[in-house]
């Protein structure tokens, strides 16, 4: 053992440790393991708490959860989490959860100034998408209606069932009331099998 250590510039103690590990665990003792924490191990919310949040959002608009908003926003989600679990999360952390749950999408970039022809002053233009996502590994799919302004403000609703015409019309009306102005919606993503429902927005 001392010859091996000397020839390779390794201490006898290290070689001894390796031999003991090999005798105990075989070749598995020398498998290179990924360093660092397991993905998600430092999340502020437990998986069960995340599941509760997604379920609460899917149950209906924020008012059903006792919150003073017409549609779900990052702020509304933060308040829901604070009220239920006593955990205060900042906008960046809320965004991480929304991405984790599939509630933001690269197909929904904000509408940039000048991207579309000018419309009347006082009209808020938003990009809209209807996506289907599976927020939690052990949950079923949910439908998400997302709308984002040119400044990146996000408004959304979730449903365990596909949206129908009354729900889509209601979503538009809620957007208008929450923003306090008329809205012009530009559809970025939509399920092809229900393309005819776009006119409800």
59-92 confidence digits (pLDDT tens): 999 999 999 999 999 999 999 999 999 999 998 8
Q: Are residues 119 and 150 in the same domain?
A: yes
Average pLDDT over residues 12-16: 70
Q: What is the pTM of this model?
A: 0.74
Could you tell me if residue 163 is inside a domain?
Answer: yes
Could you tell me if residue 39 is inside a domain?
Answer: no
Q: Are residues 59 and 87 in the same domain?
A: yes
Could you tell me if residue 38 is inside a domain?
Answer: no
Q: Are residues 25 and 55 in the same domain?
A: no
Q: What is the pLDDT of residues 91-123, one digit of tens each?
A: 889 989 998 998 875 656 666 666 665 566 788
Could you tell me if residue 42 is inside a domain?
Answer: no
The CA-CA-CA angle for residues 162, 72, 143, to 5°, reads 15
Q: Are residues 15 and 66 in the same domain?
A: no
Could you tell me if residue 176 is inside a domain?
Answer: yes
Q: Are residues 26 and 106 in the same domain?
A: no
pLDDT for 190 equals 92
Q: Are residues 123 and 97 in the same domain?
A: yes
Q: Are residues 89 and 146 in the same domain?
A: yes
Q: Are residues 196 and 128 in the same domain?
A: yes
């Amino acid at each position: 053992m001392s010859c091996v250590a000397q020839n390779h510039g390794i201490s006898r103690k290290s070689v001894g440790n390796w031999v003991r590990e090999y005798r105990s665990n075989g070749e598995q003792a020398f498998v290179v393991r990924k360093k660092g924490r397991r993905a998600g191990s430092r999340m502020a919310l437990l998986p069960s708490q995340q599941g509760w949040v997604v379920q609460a959002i899917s149950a209906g608009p924020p008012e059903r959860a006792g919150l003073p908003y017409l549609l779900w926003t990052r702020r509304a989600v933060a308040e829901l989490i604070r009220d239920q679990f006593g955990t205060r999360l900042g906008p960046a952390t809320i965004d991480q959860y929304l991405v984790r749950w599939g509630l933001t999408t690269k197909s929904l970039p904000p509408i940039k100034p000048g991207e579309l022809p000018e419309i009347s002053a006082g009209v808020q233009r938003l990009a809209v998408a209807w996506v289907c996502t599976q927020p939690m590994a052990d949950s079923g799919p949910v439908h998400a209606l997302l709308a984002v302004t040119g400044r990146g403000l996000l408004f959304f609703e979730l449903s365990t069932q596909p949206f129908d015409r009354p729900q889509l019309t209601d979503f538009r009306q809620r957007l208008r009331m929450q923003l306090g102005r008329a809205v012009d919606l530009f559809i970025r993503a939509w399920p092809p099998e229900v393309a005819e429902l776009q006119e409800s927005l």
